[in-house]
Chain A
Amino acid sequence: MKARRTVAVALSVLALTAVAACGKDGSPSSSTDNKSGAAAAQLPTYKVNAAAKLDASPAWAAAKQRGKLRIGAKSDQPFLGFEDVQTGKRNGFDIEIAKMIAADLGFDPETQIEWKTINSSARETSLSGDQIDLYVGTYSINDNRKKLISFGGPYYIAGQSLLVNKDNTDITSPESTKDKAVCTVTGSTSIGNIQKYGAKVTQFESYSLCVEKLLTKEVDAVTTDDAILKGYAAKNQGKLKVVGDPFSKERYGVGLKLGDAALQKAVNDALKAHEDSGDWKKAYDATLGLSGAAAPSIPELDPIAG
């Protein structure tokens, strides 16, 4: 009995190592580009500003010391912040924004960024707790959050919308979600917005889990910003569609530690520079643009208070 159990354990360990011994290296070309976001060819390249000096910002100084800039992002939002299963590389519009800022701050976007995947509900905590230096991941600027952290940007304007199954005809607008099961993410601004319309809200910690619930018809719709939804619709081609006009205004900003005005200014300067040089547009076209949605206009940066 005992010997048998030990053998069983040994066998399962062996089986695992055997599986691990025949791994394939994914290369970006082997995966179909339209599935997982960025086509490398059209992405802009960013010149590292080696002369960047920002000693007034403790976060920057610590990052320089470390040799790595720690950026929080999402990893499961196609075309926005996505981590490719085959290559382990990140791609998407938010990732590009993060890279251009990093380059202007004097960090090589390919080698000197330490990416951290952070869920919506943990964003403020991880910024105020010094877990990361910047957060770029569909982060709506609002007053409640401004009490806890500071924002650079906005760099993109999205609006809350609805994602439904292709064959769904009863949900066309937020008004029609009354008593329908609508999924969204814990700690996002979408919850309050959709509850007003009398929807039954289901909450999970990431949009992917919501989309999974939608694909298996456990919920009737997923609601969040149209940018995120477009990405999912494009990734699950032919199964899902985005419906209704955006019924809120979400201004995406770059999260940073409360009161780090120097870093905030540097982030805004970087955004401005790349928006003017056309990198912003190029990045959009190579990522979110693949979903077929035309580039929206570039938003005006918020003035830095104090």
Chain B
Amino acid sequence: MGIPFEDGNFSLFVRGFLGTIELSALSALFAVLLGVLLAAFRVSPVPVLRTFGTAWVTLFRNTPLTLLFFAVTFVLPRLDVHISSFTAAVVALSAYTGSFVCEVLRSGINTVSLGQAEAARSLGMGFGQTLGLVVLPQAARSVIAPMGSVFIALPRNSAIAGAFNVFELFSVQKTLTEKGYAIFAIFFWLALAYLVISFSIGAVFNALERRAAVAR
């Protein structure tokens, strides 16, 4: 049962765990950037950008992540784009998660009632002030919970990268399975690792939610 503490498996576990963390953290960062950009496109008054945003979100929300990984791994090199497996995984995960982030942000902005923004504008606030002081703070409240589930899903989804030559926890599972350890014992330790990750993220978002709830 103590697999991580036998013949050098500990370093394997640590490497896998860090691989998952690194991949998830980087993808989260880019997913937020991309999501904000796409959301800006989708709520902008420019039809071309709106269409582009909608098309992007439709494409990436309805494509399986595994297919996306497959495409990034085997299609990009054919387009003469050469990136490492890790970078490819970050690209796939960010493009996928970014479209979910965009949808959460957009529906959050849409929950703010029209009168709020109109009132802000009639007070003479500019676009930046309206957005920053009135609309976004109110949108944030309804965004935090769904955003939390998007980011709890991210490390879970990152496990697929293990099938595409990125070393993370799924790779650890495959390696140990090959070494012939009991499959459910391996699963136990991996489950523990993922529970730690998802509870930590959950805790962060719960704290955020509490703060936002107070700020009414």
Contact = CB atoms under 8 A, between A and B. Distances in A.
Interface in B155-192: 163-165, 174, 178, 180
Contact of B163 (A187, A205, A216, A218): A205
A218 B82 CA distance: 7
Interface in A204-218: 204-205, 209, 212-213, 216-218
Given A202-B85, A203-B165, A204-B165, A213 B174 contact: no
Contacts of B178: 121, 186-187
B74 A209 contact: yes
A121 B174 contact: yes
B174 A186 contact: yes
A216 B165 contact: no
A295 to B, nearest CB: 33
Contacts, number: 24
Interface in B42-91: 74, 77-78, 82, 85
The interface size bin for chain A is: 10 to 19
Interface residues of B, number: 11
Contact of B165 (A121, A202, A212): A202
B163 A213 contact: no
Contacts of B85: 202
Contacts of B180: 144, 147
A212 B74 contact: yes
B174 A218 contact: no
B17 to A, nearest CB: 19
Contact of B78 (A187, A202, A216): A216
Contacts of A205: 163
Nearest to B178: A187
Interface in A138-187: 144, 147, 186-187
21 contacts: A121-B174, A121-B178, A144-B180, A147-B180, A186-B174, A186-B178, A187-B178, A202-B85, A202-B165, A203-B165, A204-B165, A205-B163, A209-B74, A212-B74, A213-B77, A216-B77, A216-B78, A216-B82, A217-B77, A218-B77, A218-B82
3 pairs of A and B residues whose beta carbons are closest in the complex: A216-B77, A218-B77, A202-B165
